[in-house]
């Protein structure tokens, strides 16, 4: 089970205005100076991981796809995870707990981050334009006891999110019942296809179904791309 959620922070931007410059008054030297100016900085995005592996941590395909799309969008990414023990360790070949084994969420998440990771306790909202939470059971087990869109529903009353469709449709949407849990928390569930993202403009929350749907990987990758594009648009960068 996995779904993605992103939150965009409202930020103030200073805009430089060029006054008294009609087209005829723009000299070649001035135009050259404008072209030499520094490029507009990209959005600063915090990616919050919850381990490494779908059954006890972050869904790796989702995290990787997010990083690809953020890179393509020119974002500046910083990766975080909590420095706490995992709830438990799952043997991914069997889908069962590994008895007597213990792992740290930050240490495991560092595998995905290629070692470039920071303790979640050090994350400051003032330093980021958005935060993205990939899916995976780790979001429920190691963060706030709920999957990513439900996390939004628990902390933002009336928020709009999607986990895809509300009926299983012959097994295509095996976790469709999650939509009812979202509604029970006072949030609004919006039906979306796997390649789509839903934007709650009021709360600046973006969600996509991802692995809540049983489908080909490229469709999930496309939905994550749609989510990341909406996040970058909302950030204004």
SS3 47: strand
How distant is the alpha carbon of residue 173 from its chain centre?
21
Q: Which helix (H) or strand (E) holds 198?
A: strand 198-200
Residue 28 pLDDT: 44
In degrees and rounded to multiples of 5, residue 83 shows phi and psi of -90, 75
52 catalytic? Reply is no
Residue pLDDT, tens place only, 14-32: 223 333 333 344 444 444 4
Q: Which helix (H) or strand (E) holds 76?
A: strand 76-81
Residue pLDDT, tens place only, 152-206: 888 898 999 999 999 999 999 999 999 999 999 999 999 999 999 999 999 999 9
Residue pLDDT, tens place only, 132-151: 999 999 988 998 766 777 87
Task: Please tell me which residue in 31, 52, 145, 146 is annotated as part of the active site.
Answer: 146
Proportion of the chain above pLDDT 90, given as a percent: 73
Proportion of the chain above pLDDT 70, given as a percent: 82
102/215 Cα distance (integer angstroms): 32
Higher-pLDDT residue of 80 and 26 is 80
Length of the chain: 237
Residue 149 pLDDT: 78
231/207 Cα distance (integer angstroms): 10
206/222 Cα distance (integer angstroms): 15
Residue 153 pLDDT: 86
Mean pLDDT of the chain: 86
Residue 151 pLDDT: 79
Residue 102 pLDDT: 93
Residue 51 has pLDDT above 70, yes or no: yes
pTM exceeds 0.75? yes
Q: Write down the domain spans for the chain.
A: 44-235
Residue 21 pLDDT: 33
Report the top-level CATH class of 44-235: alpha beta
Higher-pLDDT residue of 67 and 157 is 67
SS3 193: coil
């Amino acid at each position: 089970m996995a779904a993605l959620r992103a939150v965009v922070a409202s930020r103030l931007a200073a805009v430089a205005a060029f006054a008294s410059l009609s087209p005829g008054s723009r000299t070649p030297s001035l135009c050259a100076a404008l072209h030499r100016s520094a490029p507009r900085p990209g959005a600063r995005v915090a990616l919050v991981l919850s381990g490494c592996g779908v059954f006890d941590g972050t869904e790796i395909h989702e995290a990787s796809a997010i990083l690809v799309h953020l890179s393509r969008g020119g974002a500046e990414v910083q990766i975080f995870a909590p420095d706490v023990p995992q709830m438990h360790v799952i043997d991914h070949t069997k889908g069962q707990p590994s008895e007597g084994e213990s792992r740290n969420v930050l240490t495991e998440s560092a595998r995905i981050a290629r070692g470039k990771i920071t303790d979640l306790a050090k994350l400051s909202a003032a330093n980021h334009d958005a935060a993205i939470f990939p899916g995976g059971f780790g979001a429920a087990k190691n963060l706030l006891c709920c999957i990513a869109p439900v996390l939004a529903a628990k902390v933002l009353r009336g928020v709009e999110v999607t986990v895809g469709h509300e009926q299983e449709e012959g097994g295509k949407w095996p976790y469709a019942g999650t939509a009812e849990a979202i509604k029970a928390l006072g949030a609004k569930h919006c039906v979306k296809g796997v390649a789509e993202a839903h934007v709650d403009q009021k709360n600046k929350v973006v969600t996509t179904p991802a692995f809540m749907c049983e489908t080909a990987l490229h469709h999930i990758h496309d939905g994550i791309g749609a989510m990341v594009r909406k996040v970058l648009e909302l950030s204004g960068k």
